Structure 1
Amino acid sequence: MIIIFCFVSLILSCHSATTDNVSMNNCPESFGCPALPPFKYPFYNVMDTRCGLIKVNCTSKGGEIQLGGGWYEIVNKDEGHNTVIISNKTFEDLVKKNSCEALMNNFTSPSPSPLLYSISIFPLITLFKCTENLTIAQQRDIYFEQHNYRSHYRCKDYKFYYNHLNETVPSDLPPTCQVVQLPVRFLSSPGLDETNIFSLLSSEFQFELTPSCHNCHTKGGPCHIDNEHFQCLNAKKETQGRKLIKILVTVLGISFGVGFVTLSVVIILCFRRKIKMRKDAKYNVKVEMFLKNHEFLVPKRYSYAQVEKITSSFKVKLGKGGFGTVYKGVLRNQNQVAVKVLNEVKSNGEDFINEVASVGRTSHVNIVSLMGFCLEGRQRALIYEFMPNGSLERFINNQGSSSSSQLIGWEKLHQIAIGIARGLEYLYRGCSTRILHFDIKPHNILLDDDFCPKISDFGMAKLFREKESKIFVSHMRGTPGYIAPEIFSRSFGEISHKSDVYSYGMMILEMVGGRKNIEVGVDNTSEIYFPHWIYKKVELHDEQLGLNEIVSEEENKTARKMIIVGLWCIQTNPLTRPSITKVLEMLEGDVASLEIPPKPYISSPSRCVGSPSTDSLHPYGYST
């Protein structure tokens, strides 16, 4: 390829260019008029008829420029660009008299023929000159009002619509209307009155030249007009052979570049695929080894083809997040399921193993059931029982529009809190291997038809033997706003099942308050951090808790009980927090027997600080 490219380049260098011996007059490089910067091509002095395209007549006060058949006074000229400010005295007189004749014709500046340059007038105002028609007058007024043309002016048999801030022309302009564009004063000019069209108009306007003969200049010659015909003087002419060779060189160069880029991309993709396959193989070996060692514990295994059939080729999507997508499915026995399809390998399979190992070995009414899983090459999926009422979060985080008690009632809310506590007690005491969840929050609590709560999403869970007193974690686990202090720093204490108790307490307080514990949208700064705000109510034995929809003394007692339990659970020192068994006793006992706990000494967050929102998370652990 390189040899061919060099050979063609050598041939190209051997071809000489011929020149056209067309002669031209001895034109000056520039000329000047009094009080104006020098003029250069394509402007020319009226005395040098073959030196340019646009005629200029110098006067004692400055100069005039000819556009079409009319002359315009030159007000000013840019030093370095072909931008000229000119004035139309006839138009100026009509404007001063508020004459309708100023509005009758579209203000255009004819270009020479053939078209060698274009002229853009700036600034402009666009008017729509419409013939008076009483039958459609109201409909037309509505049309222009919808297109943001609010002002209008009647003149003779016409009505003009305009907006000096809008120069657009609608594509569906009524057939009884014509476009009129006129020079307008700059917005910074004094005395502008939008309701008076004549106060907006100006006799001065600016135009900018854009030569159409740019290619002629690049070849070494100026473009010219002679008897209405275009000429490119002293320009180099390419032979037909030279043009063909240039085309050939261009094609070969592009082909070489495309081929090189394509080959590079293929190599990179193959390399990345090889690395990906190695990672997947390492991931699958670890997971397969775990499944083999725990074969009697893990749920049913499905092939990827079976997963496609269960979800009807992934027809109904329930949610999507960073780790995958959740689909609705139906098993052979017609039981509905939620299928979480993972889309990337993460943490060497730790999250997948956690789900299968944790939920797979549990069997409790308050723990979501893992019906099966899929591990086939790079395809991984988890199949859960379907929960029609979604997550608890949708019933408690309602931004103050209504409270959780209004949606499901205080008694049901109390029963949900008890059900979650029983599920946690089962994880800590009912399994042969104890399980810490590490991500208890409303999003991970699912509700069935009867609002029975079930703990879900064990991707962050950790299994440990019953006799272990200390738990070690390699990285931060949980969701901001629910993470226990000891997970941030061991100076607060050791990590244990009390860490889940803390998260449970934060969730209970959200259930009572009907909003997030950290609420930056409230008016009163003291109400931003709900646990501190509600603690003051309880500490002062305030009978009116300030919560929504409490209509009876019994409901007030239920709310107070849940608040006291929640405040005990979020104690900063893990040793001060009750065990989950004690939490159950407190929730099922009499509120009169409950002592008010010490106030947690971690300060409430400021108004400008908040935890990441989980509003968009899907109930099966993914965002929607």
Structure 2
Amino acid sequence: MASCRVFLLCVALQALAMASTLSALLMNTELLDVQGQTFCPSSSCGLLQDIRDPFRMRGDPPGCGFPEYELVCIDNKAIIYINSGKYFVTNISYTDNTFWVVDANLDNSSCPIPASNHRPYINSSGTEGNILLDTDTVTWAAFVSCSEMLRSDVISSSTGCCSGTYRLVDCQSTKNSFVYVFITTFIPEVQYIKPSCSYLSMIPLGNRQLRAPYNATFEDVVKFMRNGFAVRFPYRNEGMTYRQIINICMNNSMSYFHDRKSSSSIVDRTFAAIFGIDWKFLTCVNDYSYWTKLFWAVLTIISTMDIVKFMIVLAMLSRFMFSPLAILTFLAYKYWKTRISIDAVEKFLQMQQTLSPTRYAYTDITAITGHFREKLGQGGYGSVYKGALPGDVFVAVKMLGNSFCNGDEFISEVSTIGSIHHVNVVRLVGFCSEEMRRALVYEYMPRGSLDKYIFSSERSFSWDKLNEIALGIARGISYLHGGCDMQILHFDIKPHNILLDSNFTPKIADFGLAKLYPRDNSFVPVSAARGTIGYIAPEMISRNFGVVSCKSDVYSFGMLLLEMAGGRRNLDQHAARRSQTYYPAWVYSHISRKELGEICEAFDIHEMERKLCIVGLWCIQMRPHDRPTMAEVIEMLEAGVDALQIPPEPFFCGFEQDSAADSFQFSTSELSAISEDEVTDSTR
């Protein structure tokens, strides 16, 4: 009922407004008719003869022609400016209301393409720029710039608005930028351009009778551009008085209103009653009397009346709509209060979704790294670059080199670390795989890897901090072994693969050699040795020592622990004494002798170093069943040093100190003889 009242009120207002508009216009049309008459002589320029309305020459009286159709005659060439472009007028046809123009900038180039800011077009119903081009009667040449050469299988365009073939413009292309042109019957939109390309410019070609074919070459396009294209005149009835124009437009507007009045939608009827008639009347006057004094008079009167109508309608809406709207707003506020807890849950679930790795396109990787601007490191796998995600979230992007393009390491890394969320395991943010280009995106570790701290000339950490880091690494490995649905064996625990965040919290990284196995498996079938010489477990090289299992990671962790305690590589050829060349053998000899009170030389060792060494020596027992589990390792690291027992003598320690280095040299030479197919050196 309220909507009917509003509609009836709008009809009454419109009738009053149109009556007022008509009376005001009719009182002034006689004066306008007299003032609108101006004598305009015809002109000529070069081959163009009898130049007249709607054109005007520069210097003609103000009432002659349209300002937008003003011609300038230079060197017997008629020049017109359309939008920001300069064009030569080569022909005018007053019989079909068209004239022919050519881009003036094309004469000065051997390899021409139109300027990007020259857009000499508008659809047939618009008035933008007052130059009307019927887009249905021409074809378009669109120029794009691509960052890479398009493959033959994607060179054809058939998306959205565009259909045609991309043709390379050799004379405009460089090594890093490739310019293409394609033909279309629609105005090209930026979103339909190929992903690796960007829009340059476009230009219409020919007219309805002469169209460029879709398979046109660039040379054909140049010929069409130099030939130009047709532009229509504005519509205007000569000899009609302003009174006649107003009567015709009033009848057209009322017919439009009666047609819309039968609509079932109250919105359509109300819009037609309030604004539709005015718009129809104004556009009709514009068609019959293009931007003349009559048009401006009608525009002024209609604008004034529309403002009055808008204020009246607003007052009516305040009564029939604003009061219910206020009630609805209050109810919505109460509902919003009840949704706060639900929104908190949804926010949590969205955060959980963001923890899953995201697949990025290679273009995204390029943007994230700023075109690989800041390099963090280099290794056998490829290179690592620093990048930034939206919100200034820094990441490290590892680009896998060609030697790993078979995908084994990539699959292993994504399948293992992609599902892991632990404080001591580096998080995989995302990945990229496009043809042979693969990348892994990790959270950024600002402190770098552990090796640059434990092998420095000056001790970087206190003993308590070193024990805290060792505990963090042990917890991360324990989580891999037993905290997931599948057992994850890393096979490459070493200082280089332990990264530190801003708080020096350790995180295990580089799962390229990792394997997933059921948790109930007591042994793991591995066809070839995996790991890094110096950290690889004996059973990885010879099954005589035992089967491969999670104890293989325990061995690698023990070697890492001994290097952390000693602050040096386990094998140091430049040690002060030959007996100190191999640190595990040297430290076991001294710890065991001190326990028996037999040590004969000064041996000063910190109790925390002694604890780390004892735990490390337990971990590097030659046979897997003699080593503790990672859960037992964590208990030993959390316990006091007095609660730890000296482990049995490791296999390689059954020699005198002076011969320890020789025995290790022998062991190393044996390991070095293993082929690269059997041992994967992951020093990366």
TM-score when normalising by structure 1: 0.47
Higher relative contact order (CA 8 A, sep 6+): 1
TM-score when normalising by structure 2: 0.43
